[in-house]
Each structure stands twice: as C-alpha cells, then as structure tokens.
Amino acid sequence: MFKIISADSNKQVFKILLDAPEKSKSASRQSLRQIGMLLKKDIKSDMNKGKSGIKWGRNRRSGADDEGVRRQTGKLSNSTDYKVSGYNNLEIGFDSSVDYGKFVEFGSKRMGAKKPIINAINRKSNNMQSTYSKNVSRIFDKV
C-alpha cells in the first residue's frame, strides 16, 4: 500500500518510474561493459601464468588440461576482447586475427581444451552478478 505524501513528491516518483526503462537499459549496458573489462583482465592474467616457451621435438606433449595455456609471444592473451551490443548481449572471445584461439578454448584431437574464457566466467560469476545488481539498483536509490 502506498501513502500519498504530497503532489510534488508524487511527481518525482512518477518521473523516476517513467525514466526507469531507459535508465535500466543504460545501467545494463554499463554493467556489461564492466563485466567485459573484468573478464578480459582475468583471462589475460590467467593466460600469462602459463609456462612460457614451447618444447619442440617428437616427444612434445600439450600437457594437462589444468596446466594453463603455454605462451610464446603473448599474442593470444593480447587478442582477448569483448563487445557489448544492445543492452543485454555481451560477446567475449579472441580476436579473429588469431585463428588458433578456438583450439585453445575447445581443444583439438591432439590437445585438450584449456578453457581460459569459461574458467574466467566461472571464477568471476559472483562478481558479475553483484556488479550488475549494483548498477541496476542505483536507478531506484532516489525513490
């Protein structure tokens, strides 16, 4: 049940409620950008923890799946990027200039999947939820 206080305060509440859909879309986009930056940073730091250099030769093994991504140049970790489209769509992945990113993420018949993107999403899921809810709840702080 609502209590009517005064006409001026009702106008303010009414204006906030009318502006809420547009502001919630804006807050949603802002949240997705923050989540994208958070994931990009986490993926890059996780990939930089992998062993550097590659052992060449006949007995070379790709290593265990949880070993991390072996890196030689850092090109793959630097190609991590995200894109926000609309107010409810976040795409994150490797730049198309690095064609082997899909094999690192999903594996191949000779190498197990390292899953740097999926692991980052799993690690940061609680942080992503709190970021989103904080940004959207700011809309109604004035009510």
What are the DSSP calls for 45-112, one per residue?
Answer: HHHTTSPBS---STT-----GGG---BSSSHHHHTEEEEEETTTEEEEEE-TT-TTHHHHHH--SSS-
Residue 42 lies in a domain: yes
Range from 50-54, 91-95, 138-142 that averages highest in pLDDT: 91-95
For the chain, first and last CA: distance in Å? 15
Residue 46 lies in a domain: yes
Q: How many domains does the chain have?
A: 1
Residue 57 lies in a domain: no
Residue 89 lies in a domain: yes
Mean pLDDT, rounded, for 45-54: 66
Q: Which residues contact 33 (CB under 8 A, 6 or more apart)?
A: 84
Which domain covers residue 138, as residue numbers? 8-50+66-142
Predicted TM-score (pTM) of this structure: 0.72
What pLDDT shows up at residue 41?
92
Compare 43 and 48 and report the one with higher pLDDT: 43
Residue 56 lies in a domain: no
Residue 126 lies in a domain: yes
Residue 60 lies in a domain: no
Residue 121 lies in a domain: yes
Alpha carbon distance 64, 69 (integer Å)? 10
Nearest to 54 by CA among 81, 85, 76: 76
Per-chain mean pLDDT for the chain: 78
